[in-house]
């Protein structure tokens, strides 16, 4: 069986790496075609996520030089997840591999992915063997985050980012998730078709700098929690019960002091401390509630996730 393979590459200001990425992806396609794993009309689609540098012009020239190269230009920057989705939902093919433009993911394991797909897997995750090329900070925060998500009941594939193969059926399933705020890593395991994974060593970014500064990472992390878990809301309820219970015990204690012992010590500490404490808890709880309300607000508007300006 020869697979019609499409490779989707989201690009945001990636003119520095794109020529090398393109060279490797074309070599990969050629190799896969020669070993009769993929069909001749297999191709690469670069999604330009509103880049401000010469990325689109570069994609145009790459497409002009090789008929296997295509481009999708979004109307503006919509973020990695939306860029990826626009590619996944608009390209043809039996199987679609998504990969970052920066060559951190090992291009050569795509062959193993395709073999898994031929063997019957509908989703194939690319899983990093080690994270030694990431900074200690990124590694540790990622580890803590995966742990937290698991505790909150979200099924994430450990050490897997957005390097994966999706079969046609999985892509069609993905199309049915209407969420405006997307966290693909959390959604794909929910699809549930047969999955497999292949491991690889994650390399250093080939050129350019990370397009995920700390601010974007934090937003992305909160997005992941509030999109998939209502456990934080339950925790607030639990906390409410706990604090109410404590207050009740406190009332009993004070009543006992006044009625039986006939005296209470006049102190401001015992009255001021609970005020600060409760104030803090209330603000935190309102904040968490606010996160979910904001999510409802954003989701109910059902705004389109992206606009495709041009395809080549
Ligand atoms: N990216 C994108 N839109 C954005 C930010 C990033 O399409 O707003 C792309 C980027 O070009 C790259 C991929 O998403 O192909 C992953 O980004 P990056 O390598 O900067 O993230 P990191 O590996 O540092 O987490
Ligand atoms: Mg990267």
Encode burial over 200-234: b for 16+ CB neighbours within 10 A, e otherwise. bebeebbebeebeeeeeeeebbebbbbbbbeeeee
**245-296: pLDDT as tens digits:** 888 888 888 788 777 777 666 666 677 777 878 888 888 888 888 888 888 8
Place of tokens 């012992």: 261
Give the start-end residues of each E strand in 100-250. 123-128, 160-167, 195-200
For residue 140 the two structure tokens come to 């540790």
Distance 94 CA to ligand 2 centre (A): 26
158/296 Cα distance (integer angstroms):
28
Pocket-testing residue among 84, 212, 214, 305, ligand 1, by greatest number of atoms within 8 A of Cβ: 212
User: Which residue ranges of the chain lie beneath pLDDT 50?
Assistant: none
**Contact assessment for residue 83 and residue 306, using Cβ atoms and an 8 Å cutoff:** yes
List the one residue out of 200, 216, 219, 190 whose CA is nearest residue 161.
200
Q: Is residue 83 within 6 Å of ligand 1 at its C-beta?
A: yes
pLDDT given for residue 168 in this prediction: 96
38 DSSP 8-state letter: B
Q: How far apart are CA 94 and CA 158, in angstroms?
A: 26
Q: Nearest CA to 161 among 45, 81, 44?
A: 81
The DSSP call for residue 303 is: -
Q: Whole-model pTM?
A: 0.82
**What pLDDT sits at residue 117?**
96
Q: What is the pLDDT of residue 152?
A: 83
Indicate the pairing of strand 123-128 with strand 160-167.
Answer: antiparallel
Ligand 1 proximity of 12 Cβ (cutoff 6 Å): yes
Beta strands in 60-120 (DSSP E): 69-74, 95-98
Among protein residues, the one with the nearest Cα to ligand 1's atom 1 is 80
How far apart are alpha carbons 256 and 258 in whole angstroms?
A: 6
Which tens digits make up the pLDDT trace of 101-127?
998 899 999 999 999 999 999 999 999
């Amino acid at each position: 069986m020869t697979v019609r393979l499409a490779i989707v590459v989201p690009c945001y200001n990636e003119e520095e790496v794109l020529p090398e990425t393109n060279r490797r992806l074309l070599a990969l396609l050629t190799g896969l075609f020669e070993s009769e794993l993929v069909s001749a009309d297999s191709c690469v689609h670069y999604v330009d996520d509103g880049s401000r540098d010469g990325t689109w012009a570069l994609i145009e020239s790459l497409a002009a030089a090789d008929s296997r190269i295509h481009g999708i230009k979004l109307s503006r920057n919509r973020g990695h997840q939306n860029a990826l989705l626009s590619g996944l939902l608009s390209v043809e093919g039996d199987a679609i591999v998504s990969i970052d433009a920066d060559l951190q993911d090992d291009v050569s394991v795509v062959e193993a992915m395709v073999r898994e797909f031929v063997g019957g897997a509908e989703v194939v995750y690319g899983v990093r063997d080690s994270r030694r090329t990431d900074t200690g900070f990124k590694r540790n925060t990622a580890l803590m985050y995966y742990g937290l998500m698991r505790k909150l009941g979200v099924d994430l594939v450990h050490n897997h980012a957005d390097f994966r193969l999706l079969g046609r059926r999985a892509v069609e399933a993905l199309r049915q998730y209407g969420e405006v705020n997307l966290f693909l890593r959390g959604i794909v395991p929910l699809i549930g078709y047969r999955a497999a994974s292949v491991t690889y060593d994650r390399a250093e970014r080939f050129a350019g700098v990370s397009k995920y500064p700390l601010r974007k990472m934090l937003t992305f992390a909160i997005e992941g929690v509030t999109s998939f878990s209502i456990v934080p809301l339950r925790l607030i309820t639990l906390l409410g019960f706990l604090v109410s219970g404590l207050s009740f015990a406190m009332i009993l204690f004070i009543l006992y002091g006044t009625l039986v012992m006939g005296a209470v010590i006049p102190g401001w500490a015992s009255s001021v401390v609970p005020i600060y404490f409760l104030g803090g808890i209330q603000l935190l709880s309102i904040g968490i509630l606010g996160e979910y309300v904001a999510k409802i607000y954003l989701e109910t508007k059902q705004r389109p996730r992206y606009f495709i300006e041009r395809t080549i």
